[in-house]
Amino acid sequence: MESGQVYEAGNGKEYDMLETERLLLRKWTEEDADSLFEYAKDPEVGPIAGWPPHRSREESLDVIRNVLNGRECYAICEKGNPKAIGAIELILNRHNDTENHDEECELGYWLGKPFWGRGYMPEAAREMIRHGFEDLGMNTIWCGYYEGNQKSKRVQEKVGFVYHHTCENVPVPLLKEVRTGHTNVMTKAHWEEIKESKIYKNGLSAEQIASATDKSLEEVTEIIAGKISAQV
């Protein structure tokens, strides 16, 4: 998809930008190369997600043209500031378990280090999940993280994803290594059950729910997982 191009979703409506309370999610343009390089060159950002730090503005420009050009790939921006500070995407027909399944997709994301700890990623992820289910007609959204990426794990817990499986020796081709990968899942039925709850809107993890109730972490995890076990 070319920069700024819009498309027609299943309901016929065009989507070029999504909005949350504090963020705008918009299409990437070549003018974002400087900001992409600024944040993607940080060795604490890319490698933990499976890709190497960017080495030049030219490399970042190439990534915009050839990687961040997916139909559902958005630059994350703070409201009032058009500068791209991260990326978020619903990857269509790319998950290993969803090949040839048009109603399933995979959520991927990263955020520049200066913006960590502000709750931006759960906020953006909740909007992308809503977009996937309500606007695009998805039935299932998958999301994963590599062993050791606790920040990504917490984001997924906060927005309601539930553990599905773990794979050992997962190839990470851009870094020429193998890792352990954990995969989580959310169904539309589960999302519809939790989307209006304070727990979901406030982004509480299973650990936080357990600490605020008389239930153990194991009980909370089982309760959440039980809501979708028959649908996965």
Q: What is the pLDDT of residues 59-96, one digit of tens each?
A: 999 999 999 999 999 999 999 999 999 999 999 875 44
pLDDT in tens, 96-122: 444 556 799 999 999 999 999 999 999
Strand locations in the chain, DSSP E? 17-19, 23-26, 73-78, 84-92, 104-111, 140-146, 162-172, 177-187
Amino acid at 212: A
> Is residue 181 in some structural domain?
yes
- Decide if 68 is inside a domain: yes
Which backbone phi and psi does 25 adopt, to 5 degrees?
Answer: -110, 115
**Is residue 122 a contact partner of residue 155, using CB atoms and an 8 Å limit?**
yes
CATH code of the domain covering residue 201: 3.40.630.30
9 occurs within a structural domain: no
Judge if pTM exceeds 0.95: no
In a domain, 6, yes or no: no
Q: Which residue has the higher pLDDT, 123 or 2?
A: 123
Domain limits at 156?
Answer: 17-226
Specify the higher pLDDT residue, 225 or 86: 86
In a domain, 201, yes or no: yes
Closest residue by Cα to residue 51 from 191, 133, 146, 156:
146
- With respect to residue 153, please indicate whether it lies within any of the assigned structural domains: yes
The first and second tokens of residue 119, run together, are 């709750």
Specify the higher pLDDT residue, 151 or 213. 151
Q: How many structural domains is the chain composed of?
A: 1
What type of residue sits at position 199?
I
Inform me whether the pLDDT recorded for 11 exceeds 50: no
Inside any domain, residue 3? no
Instruction: Give the three-class secondary structure for 98.
Output: helix
The answer as to whether 187 is a domain residue is yes
